[in-house]
Structures are given as structure tokens and as C-alpha cells.
Amino acid sequence: MNKIKCSICEEFDESGDEFFTIAGKPACTGCWEDARESASTLVKFNPDGEIEEFYFDQDFGDFEGGDLPEPIKAVKWVNTDGWRGYTNYEIVPGFEEIADGWVTGWPDETTKEKAELGDYYEQLKSGDLIPPVALYWVFGRTSNLFSTASSIYVRTDDKDKLAAWLEEVNGGLDEFSKKFN
């Protein structure tokens, strides 16, 4: 059996499994499993109606393809204090963030805009809404069990076309991005 020293936690692993980070360094089974459990999700809504999903992490990249999915350049956990934090993304040049904030699975009367945001997501997933450009919706973990970090990116060249479409759908880009606050 192979004994490796994990490049992430620096513990020794004798499981015989071989995992490697996107930097090509060895990783233990525990770090691999933890990464998969807390992975970010990117859902790409294409203008032809096709939907692509990617699960990725800062150490292992896309769990299916190896590298980080477009438009993600880097993933970072941001501590807001000793116990709390959220996932933050650096994007590659040529893309722009159009919305950033949080979503929740339990919206109530104080967060009704979160329910509206969930409705938009479900309409995109079902194909009832199809954006005119590729729309990259990213979800990451937060320390709040009831909330998920959420960001939307588009190619910078596509922003005006998306803004015009959102004007028809829900009152525009500003109105849509307010739902993330």
C-alpha cells in the first residue's frame, strides 16, 4: 500500500487511493472527500437552451475535468471572523460579475426577493427562460447553514445584450441584481 503525505492537511494517508490537486500535488482521501462535500457549483445556461453543470474546488478544480471551469480563475474562502465566512471567486479577464449576494432555501416574508430569485433559477433550469447569451450562475458555501453564496457572470461583450433581455423579463439588470442583496 502507498503511504503519501497530503499536500493540503500534511497528514499521512495509507488508504491506497491516489488523489492529486490541480497543481499536481498529492492529496489524501479525507481532503478529497471534504472538497467534494463543500464544492462550488457552476451552472452555465447557454443561449441554445443547453445547461452545463460543474462541481469544483480551489484545490482540485473541476472534479470531472481537472481545471477550474470558465470563467473562474481562482476560488478563495473569505473569513469574516473566527467562525464565519463565504466563498469568493476571481474571474478571468473578459468576464464581468453582474450580481453577487446570497440565496436561501427558506425564503419568508422578509426575504421575498429570494423566492423571486429562486423562481428565475427554476425557469432557467426548466427552459422556460433562455438567456440570449451564456449566463454563468455560481453557488458556493457560506458559514450560514441556510444561505449559499451566489454570483452571476457574463462575458463583458455580452452584458448589454443580457441587460436588454432582463429589461423584458423583470425590469432590468439593476432590478435583478437587487434580489441578491
pLDDT per position as a tens digit, 121-134: 889 999 999 999 99
Model confidence band, residue 169 (pLDDT cutoffs 50, 70, 90): confident
Angle at 161 between CA 53 and CA 105, to 5 degrees: 40
pTM for the predicted model, two decimal places: 0.87
Count of Cβ atoms closer than 10 Å to residue 165 Cβ: 20
Stretch 16-36: mean pLDDT: 91
* CA–CA dist 177, 26 (Å, integer): 40
Does 100 lie in the same domain as 25? no
Q: How high is the pLDDT of residue 171? A: 79
Evaluate if residue 170 carries a pLDDT over 90.
Answer: no
119 and 138 fall within a common domain: yes
Asked if 52 contacts 64 with a C-beta cutoff of 8 angstroms, the reply is: no
Inter-CA distances, 163 with 35, 98, 137, 158, Å: 35, 9, 16, 9
Question: Domain containing 2: what range?
Answer: 1-37
Same domain, 49 and 112: yes
Helix (H) and strand (E) counts in the chain: 4, 12
Confidence of residue 75 (pLDDT cuts 50, 70, 90): very high
Per DSSP, helices labelled H in the chain are 29-37, 112-126, 159-170, 173-178
Question: What is the rounded CA–CA span in Å between residue 142 and residue 45?
Answer: 23
CA separation for the pair 37, 118 (Å, rounded): 22
Number of domains in the chain: 2
Note whether 23 and 108 are same-domain residues.
no
**Residue 39: pLDDT above 90?**
yes
| Alpha carbon distance 33, 19 (integer Å) | 10
56 and 25 in a single domain? The answer is no
| One domain, residues 74 and 87 | yes
**Same domain flag for 169 and 112:** yes
Q: Which residues, 6+ apart, have CB-to-CB distance to 78 below 8 Å?
A: 85, 86, 87, 88
